[in-house]
Structures are given as C-alpha cells and as structure tokens.
Chains A and B, each alone.
Chain A
Amino acid sequence: MNKNNLFEGTDDMLLDKLSQEFPVLTDEEKERIFAMSERKYNINKNNEKVNTNYKDFSADNEVKGVEQYKRPMWYKTLSIAAAAVLMVGGVAGSMMLMQHGGTRVPTTNIEETTAATTDATEPTESTTEDVSEYMAAALELTDKLAHYENVLYNHDIAVDENDSLTFTMHNYEGKEHEEHYVRVIDPEIQSGNDLKNAILALCTDEFKDLLYNDSGEYDEDNLVFNICDYLYSSGYFINDFSGYENGATINNYYKTGSFITYNDALYVCTNYMERDADYYSSEPEIISHGDDYFEATRMTVGPCINHFGCPDIKVGTKATFQFKKVDGKWKINNIKTGRSVEAWALAAVNHYFNNVCTDYSPDELDIRNDQNEDGLITKSFYDKLIDNYRILKNDSDNSCRIYCIIKDKEGKDHLEFTADIDFLIDDDFGFMGDEDYSEYFSFSNVSIKEIR
C-alpha cells in the first residue's frame, strides 16, 4: 500500500474530520509543540523589537580592535527614544541599584529549601528524560501567576468600559484630580478577595507563610515578586465607594486605590492600565525534579520583579520557581531570583573600561560614577549607560552579548562596544561600580569602534 497515494487529494474538510475522529498527538507531543510555538512567538516578538532599533547593525560584520567609522543614522532615533525612557525610569533605576546594592542570588537558600521540601525524594538532574508533566505544570502555574500579577500591576483584566465611575480625589497636598474606574467583568474575579484567593491558590501553605507572616509583615529578602505589596497593603481592596454618588468629590486621599467596590461590583482604576505586558522572555526550563517536587527557571521581564530600574527590559531576571505536589496538585513552593542580565551586563561594561581595557583610559570616558565633594554619588555609572545599550543575545542568566555606546567626557558618543560576557560566579553583592570585578566577569569577542 502506498501511503503517499492513499491520502492524495484529501481536502481540508476531510482532514478536519480525520483529525477529529483519529487524533494522533499525545499530550507530551502537544506540550512540546505548544512550547515550541510559544518560544518562536516570543523570539519573533523580541526580534521584531530589536530589529526596529538595530536594523542597520550587523554583529557579524564587526572587526576586532579599534577602527574609525561613521555613526549610523538610526542611532539618533535610538538616543532620543531611549532618553525619553530614561527620564521616567533611569533615576529610579539608579536609586534602586545603589540602595539595594545589586541583584541577589541566594543560591544557598534555594538549596536549603529544596532539602526541606523534598524529604526522602532525591532530586534528579534533568537530561533528556520525560519532563512533560513538570513542563506542563510549570507553564500553567507561572503563566497564571503572570496573569494575576498583570491584573494587579497593569490592571490587565476584562472590563466593561461602558460601566464607568469618576470621582474627584484630593491628593495629600490637597490638589484635585480625577480618578476613573471601569467595571471588572472577569467572571473569575469579582472581588478583591477573589483575586487574592486566586493567587494564593497557586501557592503552598509554606509559600503563603513566606509571603505574609503572622506579624503582618512580609519578608522582603525572601520575596522579590511583589505580590504581597498588593495583597496586603492597606487600602488596596477595601475601599467601598458605594456611599458616594458617581462624580462626587472625595476629600480623603487615603481612599485612592487601584480597585474599588461599588454597589457590590468590582471596579478597576484606568490609570496604569496596560494590556498584554510581557512577563517572561523564555519558556520554563526544568532543572531538577522528584516525585513530588521540581524546580524550573524562567527569565522574567514582568513589572513585579526588581530589575533594578532597567528600562525596556528584554531579557530580564532569572526566576527559579520551586514546585511541590500537595494533595496531587502542583503548587508554587517558593520563588527566588537570579541575576538581572541587564544590570549585570552594565556592571561588566563599567568594569571592562575601568580595569580591562588598555586602549582607552577611563578618565577619557564618561563611564565612572560622578561624586560630589563629600564623596556621595551624584550620577552613577549605571545612569550613564542605561539609555545606550542592548542585550543582543543571552544564555539564560549565565552569559550575554552586549552592545553599548560609551560617551566621552563632553557627553558625546565616543565608542561602540560589543562583547560576549560570561557571568562567572553566583554571589550576593552590590555593583557600586568603579571597582575591580574581575572574578565576576570574563570577556570575549570584544569589539570597540570609535564613533566620529
């Protein structure tokens, strides 16, 4: 029987019937293909964004060493756009970086928690074995978490825009402003408690305890995902505006909130509303697993994780999710964060020109922290680089290739720097800048071109 001829001429209608009556894909195959399609979609989406800015840039045509070349035309556009982003994000970014002292990689904690939750089950290193069950659970739970966090942070929830409320509010200085609210029509979330419970339903009891302890305070070091900021901060869900007429003035700025209830219905503020914000830049990767336990990593670009203020994050920060089976259902048992690729890459650039590069003195470049007479940093190295770089590619949070414009002391674009950077160690340290970070970074395929 010739299999190629037997089904020759099969039209779409028959194919539809055949696929319904004789489906062939196993669950594992479906998950694999779905993950592949999502990965391609995300890569395509990211590439489109990068290509918009980098359409004239070809990393393959670089020449190592130093050479003269003319600044590409696209750079002007990039600088203007990036400067606009910097105005809103850069200052906050540098403040966060300096205050928090860089990203945290609490690997010790992860191991300890792993030991506590796995009991007798020995975690196995993932190879090519079947991890489809873990993959499916990781996808479902991390995507749900992202969805709810986008609801909380970006007010990304189904609404009826025709059912709206407007109140005039007074801020703490007594100035008036209008707040607009639209009715939430997501059947799953009809109250603040629905949302809170939906998120907590993803978590084990241990993780809930980490999120919020009995003293009413959360452990900031243990939680970079800022769920609890929203779940437990006072005034977030509790404001009931039913006592006010639509359009009324409310002389109490404490009552301003993202969600309100009005005549038993839930309304969300239209401020900061953003649809379909990116949350992850990669698919889950299963890194260890046992019968009732597994760990997966995923690069996150979401708003509820601390990327140290880097604007326009494309790669983001590695989150390590720990999952535990409770009563036959997988739940999130902890979330830890790894390196913020963008923040580490910028620290590496600062280190390169301070300690590695011999062709240019850091005194000629605007690469170091500015300090006042008292030795306080007035403008950090981070602020100087943050609007002029792109991560061209990355391997999780282990390495990346960066493209960066370095300015001279007059603030003019001086060098184009491209390099592969390996992040060498896991450590909890702060990037103050202008120090020797040789043990943290190694560089290869370095290209420096002068811009004139």
Chain B
Amino acid sequence: MKDTELRQLMAQSVQKCHRAVFDNYCNYVYAIVINVLRSCGTREDIDDCVSDVFMKIYKRFDEGIDFSDNLKSFIAAVSRNTAIDAFRKITLRNNKNVSFDDEDMEELRSEEHIIENSEKKEQSRIIFGKIKELGEPDSTIIIQQYFYNRTAKEIADSISMTAAAVQKRSSRAKQKLKALLIEEGIGREGLV
C-alpha cells in the first residue's frame, strides 16, 4: 500500500482507511509481535499488543505524516517497538528474570552482536527454507505450532484434520526437519 492510496482512503473515510491498512498488514504485524512475545506472552497479550500497534498507526495517520513508500517499514518499526515495550511489561508482570533492558539493547548494537545477528538471520532463512521443503501440510503444521504457538486442535481446525493426525504429522515432520537441518550444519543444542 502506497502513501497516495492511504491519503485517498483517508479522504474518503477514516474507518475505510483503518480497515484497509488492517487487512493489508495484520498478518505482518502479528508475525512481528509474536516473534518478540512468543516466549512470555499469552494469546491475549499478543492480541492486545497487535491492537496497540494499529491504534498507534492510526494515530500517526491523523497527524498527516507523509510515509511516501515507507509505510511498511514504518509499520514494522511501530510493531517491533510496541512488542518490545510489551515484552518488558509482561516479563515484569511475570517476575521473570528475562529482560530486554537498555544494556541488552546496547549489547545488541555491538559489532560482535551485529555479526551474530546476521548469522542468526541467515540461519533463520535456511530453517524457513527447510520447513517449506517439508511440503504441505507439514510446513503449515510446523509454522503454526512453533512460530505461532497454536495448539494441535487449532491447527487441525485450520487445515481440516483431526488433532490426533496433526500431532502425528508434527512428530514426523519434526524428525524430518531435524535431519534436513543437520545436513545444513544447523544442529546446535537446543535448536533441534
């Protein structure tokens, strides 16, 4: 979606604009948010955070900021920052020792971690590729189970299978994925 389309929609109706932006980006925002909150947040926390993201985005629209062709980047940045804020709140609430404080942020910016992050990015690309290699419905089962934290029943509902069948396929797909990742040299402890 381009800024000009956004303006046209805003001119027609604010609600229409909100709806269009939501429909276009809800899956993307959800993916960014769950990627940050997966380890600590409940489903409600994640939904709450995603709705916060869109509320903030709508508010920025009201300010009439020119996004040119950077709307997607802007949405990604708002999603990430809101999710990190939510992560801090949730971990505080849960009294977990996990933190995402300024020191961590600073550490993440260090050269060493830039290299490490870039390696992780490359690794996650390979993992994603290997998951896709599993073929359907196994790819969807693994992504829904391990990325989106969905239950076997929810996955079963979405792909018209029984929960028991999903669990069985998941177990086999996991073994298959493990073998594929070892082939690629990605088999470090804790990952597979």
Contacts and interface: CB of A to CB of B under 8 A. Distances in A.
A146 B16 CA distance: 11
A376 to B, nearest CB: 44
B47 A29 contact: yes
B64 to A, nearest CB: 11
B16 A18 contact: no
B55 A44 contact: yes
A41 B28 contact: no
A22 B34 CA distance: 14
A33 to B, nearest CB: 5
Contacts of B124: 7-11, 14
B59 A44 contact: yes
B41 to A, nearest CB: 12
Given A22-B147, A158-B8, A10 B121 contact: yes
Interface of A is mostly: helix
Interface in A28-57: 29-30, 32-34, 36-38, 40-41, 44-45
A41 B58 contact: yes
A1 B174 contact: yes
B172 interface: no
B35 interface: yes
Interface string A1-30: 111111111111011111111111110011
Contacts of A20: 27-28
B6 interface: no
B55 A40 contact: yes
- Most chain B beta carbons < 10 A, residue from A8, A32, A150: A8
A309 B93 CA distance: 46
Nearest to A34: B22
B151 interface: no
Contacts of A146: 15
Interface of B is mostly: helix
B167 interface: no
A288 B16 CA distance: 26
B30 A19 contact: yes
Contacts of B145: 3
B18 interface: yes
A147 interface: yes
Contacts of A3: 38, 145-147, 149
A276 interface: yes
Contact of B28 (A16, A29, A44, A150): A16
B76 interface: yes
B33 to A, nearest CB: 10
A34 B147 contact: no
B83 to A, nearest CB: 11
B13 interface: yes
Contacts of A29: 47
Contacts of A38: 15, 18
Interface of B: 8, 10-16, 18-19, 22-23, 26-28, 30-32, 35, 38-39, 47-48, 50-55, 58-59, 62, 72, 76, 80, 117, 119-121, 123-125, 127-128, 132, 139-140, 143-150, 158, 174, 177-178, 190-192
Given A9-B120, A23-B27, A41-B55, 16 more contacts: A1-B177, A1-B191, A6-B146, A7-B38, A7-B127, A15-B32, A18-B147, A19-B31, A20-B28, A22-B148, A33-B26, A33-B51, A36-B48, A38-B15, A40-B52, A150-B13
10 contacts: A3-B147, A5-B191, A7-B127, A10-B128, A14-B125, A16-B28, A17-B128, A36-B47, A37-B22, A37-B54
Interface of A: 1-12, 14-26, 29-30, 32-34, 36-38, 40-41, 44-45, 143, 146-147, 150, 156-158, 186, 275-276
